Structure 1
Amino acid sequence: MELKLALVGFGGVNQGLVELLRKKRETLAGAGLDVLITMVADLRLGIATNPRGIALDVLDETARRGVDAMALRRDPGTLVSPDVNLDAVLKAIASEHVDVVIEATFTDPNTGEPALSHCRTALECGKHVITTNKGPIALAQQELARIATKSDACLMYEGTVMSGTPVLRQIATTLRGCDVNGFAGILNGTSNFVLGQVEAGANFDAAIREAQQRGYAEADPAADVNGSDVQLKVVILANTLWNAGLQRRDVHCRGIVGLTGEDVRVAAAEGMSWRLVGSAVRRPDGTVTASVEPRKLPASHPLRAASGVTNAIMFDTDVLGSVTISGPGAGRQETAFAILSDLIELVDRIAAAAPEVLE
């Protein structure tokens, strides 16, 4: 099956996807998938289009040059327009040369834009959407799902919660048959790293600077340390699990900014460790309560083992009891893998809906 991809945003995640597509050619061929990248839109590049596909080597060179369009302009059949305003991007998304939109732009978490407009337009045009953006899914998941159903398109967002560690797919596949009554997770690698460094003796400011130097934290780490990043992930998880209709305001949120070095060191002396935990519980009457807050965890707690930038989530199930999943919660290649896994599942869904497509 041939799928024509539009990469909206060409930062670390979609650059990592290009690398994976080059490395995994045989794996994709074995899954019956032939991928062409026919459009790339990025504020630094403009909009590059080629109905026959932009060469992966050219895209890789573009990334290595610091997202410079020179290599793209030399690629036969590729046209590059400097006009990269929202209307131009939406027009390119709607092109007949696009089957799947890979959305990985920088997005305002309060409005979901511009990713929300990208996703909405793509789905309205019958394009499948794969996104790693938390904003549009946390703020408008139900709306986007309705549009996808009406347009017979797929909306996929595995990478929005724990990067490449498969959480949403576990819910949909291996945990089928279980009732999940709650979850608690360490869902932000930056805050987890900072708390670990403080426990080891650093002060908070120095720990945040080191997280930034290592590429774990943004220049403005507010979303990590104030808990709002985890808040969005809790909304996505609760709504995916239970169709709860949660919004950000429904999730009480308190980050790690209120903790002091003394708090962390006293806890360590007691054999405890502070972790920023996002959680939700479904009550017997169907109501859902959710929160983000620092918690002191004993050594025996399943989430305590998540150190550094590792994420972990513990599901409370009726059949299996507590089930914990852990893995990398950040990283360019790790998040790109989530997109790759969504692409492979997309082929399976299309084939299941219309088996003759693969014949």
Structure 2
Amino acid sequence: MAHKLALIGFGGVGQGFVNILREKKVKLSEYHQIDLKVVSISDLFKGSLYHPDGLCLDKVIKAVQETGSLNAYPDEEGLIRNWSSKETIEQTNADSIIEMTFTDVQTGQPAIDHCQWAFLHKRNVVMTNKGPVALAYESLSNLARQNGVQWLFEGAVMSGTPALRLPQTTLTGNDITEIKGILNGTTNYMLMRMEEGLNYEEALKEAQGLGYAEADPTADVEGHDVLYKILILANVVLGVPLKREEVACQGIASISLADLDRAKELGKRWKLIGSLKQTEAGVMATVKPEMVDLDDPLAGVTGAMNAITYTCDLSGPITLVGAGAGIKETGFAVLIDLIAISRHKKGMEG
């Protein structure tokens, strides 16, 4: 039986995910016995489509590529247009909602509302948004559980690099005493270029030119992006309901070329590190620039790459390195969450 999907938000990641489905459909069916069918797409700017039997993804991509809008999708019997995101979530026949809207990280909206509506209508949610997981993990997890549905969000920490699935599945049985990582590619790239001689402003301008940094880079350079990821890791991996105000957060604007020279003399390298450490007083959480020893695996992570080290009582420290952003990578994160939901469903049915 097909696993029916409704996509809320259809920007780069949504389109990338649809292209993955087009490329992988046969392999998913043959190797995983999974049939993923998109029945709804709703986007604030591009319009919305719903067909209970499924949308033609080739026609969807053609319409958006040629006109920038879903309105160019051809009319057919049973097709419904112009549903809002709320109407889509509540009235679609989809099993799972894929939430990919732009979210205000101060409030977690509109994605928190999207999750609540979906759970109350017995639909799973897969999302790439940090906001709801960082700010409303406990309440949304409880609501999903009460309604017998799943809420997965692998892409919220390191995009397609499985920073959550690794500790939750592969490292299970360990006590994790510390988590620390490079969780923002923009600042990692900037620090690398500053080490090579650029000043802060030059490094930022270059990062913006390459598309690593937004026109307003505040979330990256002041450490807010990493802060939200640390909140997710604390809540999801350590089971600690950490709040924003409990994390000491400092960005990279204060790092001078003299600081970089000093690190080089000491055989170290500056990195913006998000850290969670188990102490007798509880979990200590920080986001700040740190000088890392050159033999630390995190020191060798260059460019816009991300990395995370889990310090475990049985397996010792394990470091995962990979892309922390990207359209295809984030689309992949959605895919692995959907495969997990499909396997869980089959296990329940079996």
- The TM-score with structure 2 as length reference comes to 0.96
Give, in angstroms, the shift of residue 262 of structure 1: 3.0
Match of 1:299 in 2: 294
Greater CA deviation, 88-97 or 263-272? 263-272
CA distances 1:158-216 after superposition (whole Å, capped 9, x unpaired): 00001100111111111011111111000000110111111112222222222222221
CA shift, 1:149, in A, is 0.6
Question: Does the CA contact (< 8 Å) of 1:216 and 1:330 recur in 2?
Answer: no
Residue 232 of structure 1 and its aligned partner are, at CA, apart by 0.3
Q: CA deviation at 1:74?
A: 4.5
Matched, 1:259 2:255: yes
- 1:66 CA drift (Å): 6.0
User: More deviation in 120-129 or 269-278?
Assistant: 269-278
Q: Retained in 1: the 8 A contact 2:5–2:95?
A: yes
Conservation of the 8 A alpha-carbon contact between 1:72 and 1:78: no
Q: Residue 89 of structure 2 aligns with which residue? A: 93
Question: Residue 181 and residue 28 in structure 1: after superposition, are their counterparts in 2 closer, same or farther (change >3 A)?
Answer: same
1:199 aligned residue (195, 201, 207): 195
Contact 2:43–2:85, Cα closer than 8 Å, also in 1 = no
Aligned to 1:354: 349
1:27 positional shift:
2.5
Aligned counterpart, 2:242: 246
Aligned to 2:104: 108
1:2 alignment counterpart: 2
CA distance in 1, matches of 2:229, 2:64: 29
Tell me the distance in 1 between the aligned counterparts of 2:85 and 2:261: 50
Identity %: 40
Does 1:135 pair with 2:136?
Answer: no
Q: Is the 8 A contact 1:160 1:233 kept in 2?
A: yes
For 2:14, the aligned partner's letter is N
Q: Which shifted more, 68-77 or 194-203?
A: 68-77
Structure 1 residues 62 and 196, CA gap change in structure 2 (3 angstroms): farther
CA contact (8 A) 1:186 1:277 kept: yes
Q: Cα offset for 1:44?
A: 1.4
Distance, in Å, in 1 between the alignment partners of 2:52 and 2:202 is 49
2:336 counterpart of 1:335: no
Shift in CA distance, 331/275, structure 1 to aligned 2, threshold 3 Å: same
Q: Compare 328-337 and 240-249 and name the one that shifted more.
A: 240-249
Alpha-carbon offset, residue 77 of structure 1: 4.3
CA contact (8 A) 2:47 2:69 kept: no
Q: Give CA-to-partner distance per residue, 1:82-128, whole Å, 9 cap, x none.
A: x6xxxx31121012412111011111101000011111110111100
Aligned to 2:185: 189
Query: How far, CA to CA, are the matches of 1:330 and 1:96 in structure 2?
Result: 30
In the superposition, the TM-score normalised over structure 1's length comes to 0.93
**Pairwise CA RMSD of aligned residues?**
1.6
Distance 1:226 1:73 in 2: 46
Cα distance in 2 for residues equivalent to 1:269 and 1:103: 47
Other-structure match for 1:41: 42
Superposed displacement of residue 33, structure 1? 1.4
Asked if 1:151 corresponds to 2:152, the answer is no
1:49 CA drift (Å): 1.2
Residue type matched to 2:248 in 1?
H
Pairs aligned (count): 349
Match of 1:19 in 2: 19
Q: Report which stretch shifted further, 149-158 or 47-56.
A: 47-56
Distance in 2 between residues matched to 1:9 and 1:93, nearest whole Å:
12
Residues 73, 80 of structure 1: 8 Å contact kept:
no
Distance 1:215 1:63 in 2: 22
- Whether contact under 8 Å (1:128, 1:153) holds in the other structure is yes
Shift of 1:78: 3.2
Aligned to 1:281: 277
Alpha-carbon distance, 1:284 to partner? 4.5
CA contact (8 A) 1:58 1:75 kept: no
| Residue 249 to residue 75, structure 1, CA distance change in 2 (3 Å) | farther
Residue aligning to 2:61: 60
> What is the identity, as a one-letter code, of the residue corresponding to 2:292?
L
* Aligned 8 A contact 1:180 1:315 in 2: yes
**What SS does structure 2 have at the residue aligned with 1:24?**
helix
Which residue identity does 2:338 align to in structure 1? L
Q: 2:67 and 2:336 mapped to 1: Cα distance?
A: 27
Q: Aligned letter for 2:19? A: E
**Structure 1 unmatched runs, 5+:** none
Deviations 1:44-66 (A, max 9, x none): 11222111111111222234236
Q: What is the one-letter code of the residue matched to 2:137? A: Q
Residue deviations 1:202-238, cap 9 Å, x none? 2222222222222212221110000000000000001
Match of 2:314 in 1: 319
